[in-house]
Amino acid sequence: MNLLQADFDADIANEYGSQISNMDFLGIPLFDGPNLWNLLIRFAFNLLICWVLVQFFYYRISHRRDYYFTYIMFSVTIFLLLFLLQNLTIEIGFALGLFAIFGMIRYRTNTLPVREMTYLFVIIGVSIINGFGMSASYVALLVTNVLVILVTWILESTHLTRTEAHKIILYDKIALIKPECRQELLADVKARTGLDIINIQVGSIDFLKDTAYLKVTYIPTDKMPNDIDMVTKFKQN
């Protein structure tokens, strides 16, 4: 036993042990324990933050499951993309380019509403921060994410950011569109629609049919999006 201890060389053991533990295939390590744990911890942290934003702020009001799926998958994909590319020489323009690429996405059915675009921007930003913030401490990342959640909560819970909706109405009492009859116009549209109207804009006027298009700005009774607010008429089959 004493002979074995005397012949033991720590440098040789470390060299061969490192070769065994750092086995690779085509230059890529087969297993990297510390980096894997770092990935899992940061991934869980980023997913938790984005889930809180989507579940307790966006979905609580909108109840849009399609965007729920979109936001979570955006978060997962962007975080993993940036985390796995952290060892490459990437300028800050790459990260900012993601905002431009994904922020201008438009789906074929409808243009993304402003609120949905805002949450998409926030989700992308949080994922980039958590994926690229390798040099920052865990405390700094935690404080940054908490600030995002805190500001979102403050804005969603105050009347400063109240939701306003717009509706196009084909109006038949053309005599009330005159500027001096504005109060009568507001009262008549409120009585006939039951909406909490805060502003009315007069658009195209047809004197032959005695009608005019009105753009009505109102406060909805709930914050659910209305996809057909701006539709003027249904298509005739």
pLDDT in tens, 95-141: 556 556 555 555 444 566 777 888 888 898 898 888 877 667 778 88
pTM above 0.75?
no
Classify residue 87 as left (phi > 0), alpha (psi -120 to 50) or beta: alpha
Give the per-residue pLDDT at 50.
93
Give the per-residue pLDDT at 212.
92
Q: Which helix H or strand E contains 201, and what residues bound it? A: strand 196-206
d(CA 226, CA 219): 12
Give the per-residue pLDDT at 13.
47
For residue 87, give the amino acid letter. N
pLDDT at 77 over 80: yes
Which one, of 219, 210, 126, 218, lies nearest residue 168 by Cα?
Answer: 218
User: Each residue of 9-26: pLDDT tens digit?
Assistant: 545 545 545 444 556 666
Which one, of 115, 117, 112, lies nearest residue 60 by Cα?
Answer: 115
Q: What are the residue ranges of helices labelled H in the chain?
A: 2-7, 10-21, 33-53, 59-62, 65-84, 92-103, 114-132, 138-156, 182-193
DSSP letter at 90 equals: -
27 and 60 in contact (C-beta within 8 Å)?
no
Give the per-residue pLDDT at 236.
46
User: Each residue of 180-228: pLDDT tens digit?
Assistant: 999 999 999 999 998 888 889 998 999 888 899 999 988 887 665 566 6
Give the per-residue pLDDT at 20.
46
For residue 227, give the amino acid letter. D
Q: Is the dihedral of CA 39, 40, 41, 43 positive or negative?
A: positive
**pLDDT interval class at 33 (50, 70, 90):** confident
pLDDT at 44 over 50: yes
